[in-house]
Amino acid sequence: QQQVKQSPQSLIVQKGGISIINCAYENTAFDYFPWYQQFPGKGPALLIAIRPDVSEKKEGRFTISFNKSAKQFSLHIMDSQPGDSATYFCAARNSGNTPLVFGKGTRLSVIA
């Protein structure tokens, strides 16, 4: 119940294409859903986050789509660039307690 299931494990996208990473959860008490980006040798960095009262949030080329009824949320990276090549983690927070629960990560490679 405290898990967040992330897919795919790895993804290769052509430069200029759309990268889509999906996450699913079971716990309806989750109330905060961030996405983190991690480059090799660095810690995760907050990319964008959404709460369940909205279905979509966009920041530049990054968009979170949230489907409350399906208990799924996804990250879309438009016009993907080689500099976007990194590992992406979805996460969720239970309204009853504060620690983030992370997905297992998706390694994205954007090739020219």
* Interaction between residue 93 and other proteins (CB under 8 A): yes
The residue to which tokens 């799924």 are assigned: 72
Report which of 33, 50, 52 is spatially closest to residue 101, judged by C-alpha positions: 33
Task: Name residues contacting other proteins, limited to 13-32 (CB under 8 A).
Answer: 32
**What binding mask, one character per residue, do residues 52-91 give for other proteins by CB under 8 A, x or -?**
-------------------------------------x-x
Distance separating alpha carbons of residues 77 and 52, to the nearest angstrom: 20
Nearest Cα to Cα of residue 32 among 64, 69, 9, 7? 64
Stretch that binds other proteins, among 14-22, 52-60, 76-84, 93-101 (CB under 8 A): 93-101
Distance between CA atoms of residues 31 and 18, nearest Å: 27
Question: Can you give the binding site for other proteins, defined by CB under 8 A?
Answer: 32, 34, 36, 41-46, 49, 89, 91, 93, 97-105
